[in-house]
Structure 1
Amino acid sequence: MKTRLLKLSSIGFLLSFVFIGCSKGKSSDPGTEGPDKGKPEETTAWKNLDKAIALTDKTFEHYFTGDNMSMAVSYNPFTRQRANGLATVWEYTFALETVNAVLQTLNTHKEKGNTAAYNTHYQRYSNLLYKLFDNLDFYEGSYELTTFTQTRSWSIYAVQRATSKGNANVQGRENVYDDQLWLIIELMKSFKLTGDQRFLTKAEYLMQYVLDGWDPSLDASGKEIGGIPWGPGYVTKHSASNGPTISPLVWLHEYYKNKPDEITHRFIKADKSRDAVQMKKSDYYLSFAEKLYAWQKNNMLLTNGVYADMMGGCDDCSVKYETVGGTTYRAHTPLKKADGGENSYNSGTMISAACDLYRVTSKAAYLSDLKTLCTKAYSFFAKPIAGRSGYYEFDDSKGTRVLLWGFMDAYPHNNVTKTYMSPFQVLLDYAYALHLKDGVLPIYLYQGWDDNNKDVNGIYGLSYAAEFALLSKFELDNK
């Protein structure tokens, strides 16, 4: 569970990397242009795109300043004032996610004949994507890390933004694995959109960093214990540092499927010594995806059918080390139980994971899992609003987007999920019609504004914009 600021985990989060989907220069400020004036037929798909672009443009206008893409943590649409604090890398990643979602949707509109929207917005959003990517370096830093199998130097992303590129503090708890994961997901989507190898190279490097955190310690029967802690400075293992790993691992498997590239697989032997073998990347990434899925399901799936937030209950929750053969390694910390409550995004990532794994393995268990989890998650998280037929609220208006992505991913195999998506559209339209203030929607879409929630974190507007965009894309893809 993210305890700092408003962190949910993002996952991101997670629809449509779409290497394959679930079925077999500098720009001007993005706020300088509004949605297209010469609109085609006023379909729901068009209206959703229109709203997505309007919300995105206003979010960049209100929250971002300067060519270095400095993002304010919050904005008050009543006072029109930004907060002094800067967004974390997790919050910054929401901007990448939303720009990717708009670009994906513009591509689909172009394919379906709406070239006006594509011609008006695609290039400036593409430029904006590169601007965000270039300035991600303000969160980058380097350090040396000792894990369960090796000691190595890494250049990864800190929680907090630095004042200059490449100098962020990433020591200890100043970086977490799930921040890297949400970036991996968006970088791979950006690679799909642009074909620019830099996005893939960065995503794969960060994936190696995350997988280096996997706990390969052996239990009494000689089986790997598994699981990835929330970050190098933590021992608790979270759904957010495991579930979002699976889909991008499948995408990497697909990318390397017919390529000879190899990677080093590190593990622990029965005598506690460390060893390593070379594996084909395609095999390595798929085997890890299946291991992570099994670990998450075996350890985090609750009796109510949805996923817990974390595995905890450690007697001593400090990171411990051991010396084996004269070399120091991180040591295993026993954890007792799944805990931390239920969050919709943790189930959303696992729906998408089951969908992706089913696509590449055809194993019936994954199909069964995704169908069951869709039903359980909707039943658990969608709460009817009294007196309003067809209106539902969810646990977290920013994190629930990941559950929506899961329903979209599952639709080709479980078309009942289209019904599950309807409350998202209803609630977004309701809030947009009644509660939009200076281009900002409130934290609570149905209740609207009150004196306690007028300072709005930028992740909310970005989440809503991404939902509008991908609801638009979904409608066009499934007519």
Structure 2
Amino acid sequence: MKKIFYILLTCLFITVMGCSKGSENKPPAAKPVDPPTTADPTFTAADATTAYTAFNRYYYNTAKKLYYSTTQQDGLGAIWTQAIYWDMAMNVYERTNDPAQLTLVNDIYQGGFDQYDGYNWDNTTTWFIYDDMMWWVMALARANQMTGNQVYLQKAIAGFNRVWNGSYDAVNGGMFWDFQHSGKNACINYPTVIAAMRLYKLTGDASYLTKAKSIYVWAKTNLMDANGRIADHKIGNNAPGYEDYTYNQGTAIGAAMALYNETKDEAYLSDAKLAADYTKTKMGANGILPAEGDFNEQGVLKVIFAQYIMQLITDGKQTQYLDWVKTNINTGWNNRDKERNLTWRNYALAAPRGVMQSYESSSIVTFMQLYFKK
């Protein structure tokens, strides 16, 4: 995944932008707009449709069947984020049951097929890091659950096997995030648990359940502290590198919920609540999730968090988080660019009216679909 990562170099950690083909230039500051007032209405299901329609209007490339990176529509978004947008499309279909939306879900698969060498997991130019693959494996497995298309399942199985065989540390446990095995990050370990559990449910192959439990134990031991804070990475025998990212909190919740749903072991549910509580009380300000992503791909992180906090609320019946989620959605939606109906990564501020990224416009849209999902 194109994200901040850490490498060990001459006994020092050097922070760099990892696996990136270059950050996009940040546009000039947009003109300020008036902030929302307390009279702004609460978002509705119709607003969820409006938000998604606007997102597709400004970001969906109908020819490529994938998403642009910015409103300028001059290049596609990063490979891993396309899998996240595919998840968004599936959320919309689950909310609406609209046949046209199911067509779009299948179209996005085809867009990825055409753009990424037919999901050839052995192409080390297209796929250059393990977690990029795993985001797609997760989405492919979910698409099979939704559509029954066996091609999606076979692609998911092949991708999971490719990542497992190259990433898993059979000696010390855990998953390496990159081909060079420089470290083990939350962004590969927790998604591996989620993907394995989806494949277990789809195939009945108990080896996936065994792998999910194994990676979860490693991740909980090495990446989660007693307060539910998730470390971004662990390099060798060094202490975990704690950086607060909503997607790491989210996938930790998702992994715990996947195992809880299968085993009904309350320990997993407790872990999920602990990670959610940390996010709610320690990240962001005044009950609003952190902005994340200053014109970079981190703008998509809250999309991933949205997916799994809503699972905790619905599957785990932890409705104590619902008002918090609702406040975030309402704040972000009321602060949208009302001319374009595009939302922004910083929910607490009025959205800019200039060039925006699909990454930073995506999380409120996803939250809204999940909030109203049937």
TM-score (norm: length of structure 2): 0.79
Paired residue for 2:182?
235
In structure 2, relative to structure 1, the CA distance for the partners of 1:309 and 1:157 (3 Å cut) is: farther
Paired residue for 2:248?
346
Paired residue for 2:191?
244
Whole-Å Cα distance in 2 between the matches of residues 369 and 71 of structure 1? 34
Alignment of 1:188-337 (within 5 A): 188-218=141-171, 225-257=172-204, 281=205, 283-302=206-225, 304-312=227-235, 334-337=236-239
Paired residue for 2:370?
470
Is there any run of 5+ residues in structure 2 with no aligned partner, and where?
5-16, 20-40, 293-298
In structure 2, relative to structure 1, the CA distance for the partners of 1:367 and 1:444 (3 Å cut) is: closer
Whole-Å Cα distance in 1 between the matches of residues 358 and 107 of structure 2? 18
Aligned residue among 57, 63, 83 for 1:61: 57
Aligned residue among 86, 104, 120 for 1:155: 120
Other structure's SS at 1:338 match: coil
Paired residue for 1:16?
none
1:460 matched to 2:360: yes
In structure 2, relative to structure 1, the CA distance for the partners of 1:73 and 1:430 (3 Å cut) is: same
Equivalent pairs counted in the alignment come to 333
Pairwise CA distance, 1:458: 1.1
Aligned residue among 323, 326, 334 for 1:419: 323
Paired residue for 2:340?
438
Whole-Å Cα distance in 2 between the matches of residues 442 and 94 of structure 1? 17
Q: Which stretch shows the higher mean deviation, 458-467 or 194-203?
A: 458-467
Whole-Å Cα distance in 2 between the matches of residues 442 and 8 of structure 1? 24
Q: Is the 8 A contact 2:306 2:363 kept in 1?
A: no
Paired residue for 2:135?
182
Letter in 1 for 2:229: V
In structure 2, relative to structure 1, the CA distance for the partners of 1:436 and 1:362 (3 Å cut) is: same
Paired residue for 2:101?
125
Other structure's SS at 2:240 match: strand
- Percent identity, aligned pairs only? 19
Aligned residue among 290, 311, 315 for 1:394: 290
Is there any run of 5+ residues in structure 1 with no aligned partner, and where?
10-42, 76-80, 108-121, 143-153, 159-167, 219-224, 258-280, 313-333, 385-390
Pairwise CA distance, 1:303: 5.2
In structure 2, relative to structure 1, the CA distance for the partners of 1:211 and 1:356 (3 Å cut) is: same
Structure whose alpha-carbon radius of gyration is higher: 1
Q: Is the 8 A contact 1:407 1:420 kept in 2?
A: no
Paired residue for 1:151?
none
Q: Which has the higher helix share?
A: 2
Other structure's SS at 1:337 match: coil
1:93 matched to 2:40: no
Residues 306-346 of structure 1 show CA distances to partners (whole Å, capped at 9, x for unaligned) of: 1011113xxxxxxxxxxxxxxxxxxxxx3422115121111
Q: Which has the higher strand share?
A: 1
In structure 2, relative to structure 1, the CA distance for the partners of 1:213 and 1:339 (3 Å cut) is: same
Whole-Å Cα distance in 2 between the matches of residues 338 and 140 of structure 1? 33
Pairwise CA distance, 1:243: 0.7
Whole-Å Cα distance in 1 between the matches of residues 273 and 218 of structure 2? 19
Alignment of 1:13-162 (within 5 A): 48-69=44-65, 71-75=67-71, 81-82=72-73, 84-107=74-97, 122-141=98-117, 155-156=120-121
Paired residue for 1:169?
125
Whole-Å Cα distance in 2 between the matches of residues 86 and 335 of structure 1? 38
Paired residue for 2:24?
none
Pairwise CA distance, 1:382: 4.2
Q: Is the 8 A contact 1:344 1:395 kept in 2?
A: no
Letter in 1 for 2:361: G
Letter in 2 for 1:134: Q
Q: Is the 8 A contact 1:141 1:169 kept in 2?
A: no
In structure 2, relative to structure 1, the CA distance for the partners of 1:295 and 1:48 (3 Å cut) is: farther
Runs (4+) of structure 1 moved beyond 4 Å?
A: none
Pairwise CA distance, 1:415: 3.1
